[in-house]
Structure 1
Amino acid sequence: MKTTTHLAIAVLALAASGAQAADAVITSPDGRITLRIADDGSRFSVNRRGEAVIAPSPLGLELDGHALGALTLETRQDVAEDRVIPLIATKAATARDHYRGATLTFREAGAGRRLFIDARAYDDGIAFRYRLEDTGPVQLRGERTAFVPAGDPSCLVTPADGSHEQPFERLRVSQLKPDVAYDVPVVCATPSGRTHYAITQANLKGYAGASLRREGEALRLHLSGVPGRPGPAFVSPGGLKTAWRAVMVADQAGKLIESHLVGNLNPAPDVARYGDFSWVKPGKAAWDWWSGPLVGMKPDMGAYKRFIDFAAESGFPYYLIDANWALGSGGCCDANPATDITRAAYGIDMPELARYAATKGVGLLLWAHWAHVDARMDEVLDTYVRWGIKGVKVDFMNRDDQQMVDFYERIAAATAKRQLLLDLHGAYVPAGLQRTYPNYITQEGVLGAEWSKMSARTTPSHNVTLPYTRMLVGPMDYTPGGFRNATPATFEVRAEMPLVQNTRGQALAMYIVYDSPLQMVSDDPTNYRGEPGFDFIKRVPTAWDETR
């Protein structure tokens, strides 16, 4: 890793000299992007090449019981970073982390409390976050942060829901409904068309996810609260570090996908604790749920060996055994109290299946409901390791509050410790946790192919919108591979052997365009044999040296 770091401290408000602080301006290494933060910490703006991208927009925190008073910029500590980070099993072999930044210290009038804002300007975007230190217990009701896109631009937006599985539509900011929460990223272009940008978040560790709602010209940030916990969205026994608020920028919409901004705002893997993650192997997985599940068969050894054999014949390194393999399985989508995910259903010998798969070069992945995993995480994962399982798909979280963000961190760490792959479904949009835990290899949080079993929303136009929107912030387990192709006019909803509203060419292109180092091959084996294009699926990689 090549690293260059420079630090400098500038005292901006010196009482002894009577100097008056000015707005803090952070400029990107190439000089094209400026992030300006007001000297009272109340607002920020973003310009690129002299053009307003984000007009002056509110900053601040809403603390329960002890709101911060008037602020004055006291000190500025500058930092410059330029390093190349090796990546594992993702869209590129390396990421350049190159920025100029500053930590701005604001002093509260009359009280002596301090608010820190960490701010960075990259060649491909900006980011900032808030910190409070030495404060004692913190209860945060929300942030005052908002984004005012300059010039009422046209944006691609999607409503926020628990599973983050809604289509995008193009609207001007003024057309957004004030009573609707919109998901990140919100992807816009300046009225001139010279700058394309995406508003998003990064590094949620210990914090809470957020959505955006229109308030006048602004997109106001709203933190997700813990269900059943009224009041504060964030609580801490001491101190506060928010998620990063980020704006990715590029000359063209297609250039945004080259950015590593979201990942770069997250910590590197803890090699001392988990090793170098060289064991993480990307690849494709046979999957039994989408086409049926288990068309014409029940969950038993024969049905599962059929998919193992298919994976082996096709050269796929994995087979994902989805729901109903565990003892007491049944129902969707709540956690069945009768289900025991440390025991297989009667007639299924999971260690024997894992041994059988291993003789054929196939690793098994197991599906589980998150609540069953959370209830006894160590016992569950240790059992899977003993069985010879290679990874887990954990489903139905459908939340992004502080408690759920903590679950993501714990399950990512626990699987990394045991060298298990992790795929999260019913998941919130990526915020870069994959950078810290490369075994967290893919996730949902996208309106994907499963919806072809239930609705007509996964249209060809939706499919080609995803690389310019949801995929900008991290991998997405769309679960491609449907080979019963139909036009929108001939499509019909079928739960078993579903159709897909795209050509065979689009179905194949998903394996190149869609970023998912663990890529599902979703259809039934009988629908692939002898079919045009299946040889391509067998051969196409799922991780890349470079993405443009």
Structure 2
Amino acid sequence: MIGCPLCLLSALVFVGAPSGFGQSNTVALASPDQQIVLRFTVKPRQSDSATNNLQDGQLVYSLAYRGKEAFESSALSLELENQPPLGSEVHIASAHSDTGMDAYKLVAGKTSSVHDSYNAVTLELKEGADPGRTFEIEARAYNSGIAFRYHVPEQAGLSRYKLVQEDTEFRPVMDASAWALRLPNYQSGYESEYVPQVLSALSNQGGVSSYILNGSSMLMEMPGVAWAAVGEADLEGNAAMYLENPTGNWTGHFLVSKISPPMDGKGPAVDASLPHDSAWRIILLGDTPGKLVESNLFTDLNPPNRITDTSWIIPGKASWNWWNGDLGPDGKSAYTTKNMEYYVDFAAASGFPYMMLDAGWSGSDITKLRGNVDVPELVQYAAQKHVKIWIWLYSKAVAAQMQEAFPLYEKWGVAGVKIDFILRNDQAGIQWYYNVAKLAAEHHLMVDFHGATQPWGIQRTYPNVLNYEAVLGLENNKAGRRDGPLNRVTFPFTRMLSGPMDYTPGGFDNVTPQAFVARDQAPMVMGTRAQQLALYVVFEEPLAMVSDVPSAYAGQPEFQFIKEVPTTWDETRVLDGLPGEYVTIARRQGKDWYLGSLTNWTPRELHVPLNFLGTGRYKAELYEDAADADHEPKHVTMRQQTVQSGDTLTLRLASGGGCAIRFVPLP
């Protein structure tokens, strides 16, 4: 924390009685740039006519962006087991302000170095009547959004934190347009579409009261006010938050938090000793959806790195046997050690550091070899080619055997573990993520969580966690038509807000929707090949799969872009875009810049200013949709031109198309 008297005066405002901080007061917290103002107040329920003093009331917050109200009075309350609601009958007893700076390095992500300043306030809330409990709200205002969390101290009459439900409300000032991830229940892999609709559509289906469970983060647009997203960070010791419109009628347009219950259905959602901190509740704000993508709040609000030596944590690309159906050099499927060597050879020839060995090598016992692939033998073979092996694991087997398995994998020389079908984010499930990350780090194993909940910033605390899935990825081409350009231009503004995602790009059998056929082996991909190239820039994937069979890339000159593009970045700029329509993102590693641009099924001509470039001239290496890519989506045009900051590039994207560019400084 950094003290700054002038900053504190501009950051914190009290409205009401000058002492006692009674419930008639408002505490206002402004972001460092003064564009965001968060206000806390108490809405009184009764008035004592004898003393003319207001009694305790409901704690609420509101939020303004650039002088316009964005979120109106939204309640803050906790339902504790065998207790009255905590927050519904309180007053503000005190408020303490501060300023701070989140300054840290990230091993992998959208940026390598973060410097985010914030203003902060801690409110002490007390009940004036029995049972006389107390709690705190810790809040921060950054230039890209706000965050707050509940802190419940140890106190008389409250021996443990037993949370039945958290009743945090999020009330936009209008029936906001939202991109909702509808989920069937609390046990899913977060693999579905983000459906555009207004918030009231989540409460009334066909004139019938409806209560729809939605994953967070949720993107919202309030036209004329702001773009916003509601999410969470730092889940350690807690359970994940879902969002629901609780009104059940066509007039309601707000959300309330729903905390993931225990998977066995027994006990409170969170059971912990006191004192206890909830997860951070985040509201990102910006004038464009791209500004939300650039924010670092999800990692800002997590504990610092707990791994002293991170030199062994190396992001990169991996060849992969599963997506294309284990096809070998003869075009036939074979899950054998010899065939997996084919994928190792491809990784080595392409300069990729990894090969991902997917499901099938082990049975229920993950400490002994099963199937037809000898993992130690494959690891030794790969080591001779300067390639390392990741291995797929079933989450229940990991839960039962990781104490024995992880040291064994370290002995074998395995680089990382891809853990699948987790499908839970209750308190015990979230703790399991931390246990896995910690034990894996002790044995120099990187982690890729699949069948998982959305990220919440744990990669800052345990940077060996490179990837999460939690996305409707390219694998859906194997069985149906759910993957396509529409999702690909939506995910950057929705799923990617909270962190990296293992979408698995790189399919080279690119076809039109009319020619598409779902198939398990050698799957097709709707949209253009240039779009597949651009995904390596647009999507944040520190461990990026190169998904197709090696033979698919042979003799294809545009494969050069996949070989060269990095998987982690020093800087990220979202240049333009709208969810479901198009997106253009530029990312820098060192002195080189990379640009990816995607469109949905609508062809577009985009004019992209190159103001993000540094001084001097750059060689731009462009991989574009060919003139006939609308009906021949495999066709890519490659060209070069000299550019500099201040220039504007014109990009012509075909239907389902894209463009990938590398900018290299010229001497």
Are 2:158 and 1:155 aligned?
Answer: no
Q: Distance in 2 between matches of 1:152 and 1:17?
A: 38
Q: Could you tell me which amino acid in structure 2 is paired with residue 277 of structure 1?
A: T
Which of 1 and 2 has greater Rg? 2
CA contact (8 A) 1:398 1:427 kept: yes
Alignment TM-score, normalising by the size of structure 2: 0.76
1:230-266 Cα deviation digits (max 9, x unpaired): 3521112433321111011112111211100111010
Describe the shift of the 1:374–1:97 C-alpha distance in structure 2 as closer, same or farther (beyond 3 A). same
> Which of 221, 227, 231 in structure 2 is aligned with 1:200?
231
Q: Could you tell me which amino acid in structure 2 is paired with residue 99 of structure 1?
A: Y
Are 2:432 and 1:407 aligned?
Answer: yes
Q: Could you tell me which amino acid in structure 2 is paired with residue 209 of structure 1?
A: A
Higher alpha-carbon deviation: 466-475 or 182-191: 182-191
Q: Partner of 1:462 in structure 2?
A: 487
Q: Partner of 2:323 in structure 1?
A: 290
CA contact (8 A) 1:82 1:98 kept: yes
How far did 1:184 drift? 1.3
Describe the shift of the 1:15–1:100 C-alpha distance in structure 2 as closer, same or farther (beyond 3 A). closer
Q: Distance in 1 between matches of 2:222 and 2:450?
A: 34
> Which of 95, 100, 117 in structure 2 is aligned with 1:81?
100
Map 1:328-343; keep pairs closer than 5 Å: 329=363, 339-343=364-368
Map 1:56-455; keep pairs closer than 5 Å: 56-67=73-84, 68=86, 70-110=89-129, 111-134=131-154, 135-161=158-184, 162-177=188-203, 178-192=210-224, 194-215=225-246, 216-270=252-306, 274-294=307-327, 296-326=332-362, 329=363, 339-345=364-370, 348-455=373-480
Q: Distance in 2 between matches of 1:373 and 1:470?
A: 26
Describe the shift of the 1:359–1:114 C-alpha distance in structure 2 as closer, same or farther (beyond 3 A). same
1:241-298 Cα deviation digits (max 9, x unpaired): 211110111121112111001110101102xxx3141321111000111000345243
How far did 1:191 drift? 2.0
CA contact (8 A) 1:57 1:218 kept: no
CA contact (8 A) 2:361 2:374 kept: no
Q: Distance in 2 between matches of 1:89 and 1:269?
A: 12
Identity %: 39
Q: Partner of 1:332 in structure 2?
A: none
How far did 1:18 drift? 6.1
Higher alpha-carbon deviation: 235-244 or 423-432: 235-244
How far did 1:346 drift? 5.7
| Paired residue secondary structure (1:400) | coil
Describe the shift of the 1:362–1:5 C-alpha distance in structure 2 as closer, same or farther (beyond 3 A). farther
| Paired residue secondary structure (1:506) | helix
Q: Partner of 1:30 in structure 2?
A: 33
Q: Distance in 2 between matches of 1:165 and 1:103?
A: 37
Q: Once superposed, what is the RMSD of the aligned Cα atoms?
A: 2.2
> How many correspondences in the alignment?
531
Higher alpha-carbon deviation: 91-100 or 405-414: 91-100
Q: Distance in 2 between matches of 1:278 and 1:238?
A: 37
Higher strand share: 2
| Paired residue secondary structure (1:547) | strand
CA contact (8 A) 2:392 2:418 kept: yes
Higher alpha-carbon deviation: 487-496 or 309-318: 487-496
Q: Could you tell me which amino acid in structure 1 is paired with residue 321 of structure 2?
A: D
| Paired residue secondary structure (1:183) | strand
Q: Distance in 2 between matches of 1:28 and 1:515?
A: 27
How far did 1:318 drift? 0.4
Q: Distance in 1 between matches of 2:163 and 2:101?
A: 34
CA contact (8 A) 1:5 1:82 kept: no
CA contact (8 A) 1:73 1:104 kept: yes
Describe the shift of the 1:129–1:19 C-alpha distance in structure 2 as closer, same or farther (beyond 3 A). closer
Q: Distance in 2 between matches of 1:449 and 1:314?
A: 21
Q: Partner of 1:491 in structure 2?
A: 516
CA contact (8 A) 2:13 2:28 kept: no
| Paired residue secondary structure (2:489) | helix
Describe the shift of the 1:207–1:351 C-alpha distance in structure 2 as closer, same or farther (beyond 3 A). same
1:13-36 Cα deviation digits (max 9, x unpaired): 999966645122111011110111
1:361-392 Cα deviation digits (max 9, x unpaired): 10100100111011122211001001010100
Q: Could you tell me which amino acid in structure 2 is paired with residue 460 of structure 1?
A: P
Describe the shift of the 1:103–1:122 C-alpha distance in structure 2 as closer, same or farther (beyond 3 A). same
Q: Distance in 2 between matches of 1:359 and 1:196?
A: 51
CA contact (8 A) 1:62 1:141 kept: yes
Q: Distance in 1 between matches of 2:74 and 2:293?
A: 26
CA contact (8 A) 1:30 1:123 kept: yes
Q: Partner of 1:334 in structure 2?
A: none
Q: Could you tell me which amino acid in structure 1 is paired with residue 163 of structure 2?
A: L
Q: Distance in 2 between matches of 1:425 and 1:387?
A: 23
CA contact (8 A) 2:353 2:387 kept: yes
CA contact (8 A) 2:59 2:91 kept: no
Describe the shift of the 1:304–1:70 C-alpha distance in structure 2 as closer, same or farther (beyond 3 A). same
Task: Give the number of the structure with larger relative contact order, counting CA–CA contacts within 8 Å between residues 6 or more apart.
Answer: 1
Q: Distance in 1 between matches of 2:456 and 2:468?
A: 11
Q: Could you tell me which amino acid in structure 2 is paired with residue 173 of structure 1?
A: L
| Paired residue secondary structure (2:101) | strand
